[in-house]
Amino acid sequence: MIRSGRRSGSVLEYDIHDATAARTGVASSSAWTRGNVCSDRAEAAIFTIFVVAYLFYIGKSLRGPLPKDVLRVPILYTICLLSSSLTIHAAAKALRRGSVRSFGISWFATIALGATFLYGTATEWRRLIYHDGLTISTNLFGTTYYSLVGLHGFHVVVGLMCLFAVMAFTLVGRLRKSTSSVSTCCLSIGISWTQFGLWSSPSFM
């Protein structure tokens, strides 16, 4: 509860409106956290299904190209995406300290690293489609590969859109201090983005 600063004898009176607002804020934060946990579990389940399908059918295509013939390990782009989990963690810590400038720098670095990963995915797909002749309908490998990587890429795109939205608020000065709602929102985005990074490795098996 938030104290109103008024006293009646030795009894401290509370502002009912402020106390109700405080309870509402805590309830909203708790609901956001529960919703985020449910969403993360659902996403993990979906990705698990796609990864298991990819692993189950790998090597079972009746015709090429096969994974060993066309896939390359995108070390640089994978490092970029995994590193973005560190920069967004640094951004969340800066926001808790109330350092909006440091938050903006780390948040922008996260966007840059995520965009670099998407560029790598686009160039990889272009090579596979136009040079190696692998499309989603070529064989079983192509179907499972593009389904898995496409799902992951879609999530990264959505994540970048959220990051851009927060960055826009930061640039126009709307993000001035770390309020509970802002911190919860940014932390939720950070947790989700970190999961995108953790799912990057199986996307390029």
- What is the mean pLDDT of each successive set of 10 residues along the chain, which is 205 residues long? 43 40 46 64 74 79 82 86 87 84 91 92 93 90 89 86 86 66 61 57 47
pLDDT at 124: 92
The CATH architecture assigned to 35-204 reads Up-down Bundle (1.20)
159, 196 contact by CB (below 8 A): yes
Run of H or E including 14: strand 11-14
User: What per-residue confidence (pLDDT) applies to 120?
Assistant: 92
Exposed, middle or buried: residue 45 (CB in 10 Å: 0-12, 13-18, 19+)?
A: exposed
pLDDT, residue 185, reads 64
| Domains of the chain by residue range | 35-204
Quote the pLDDT of residue 8. 45
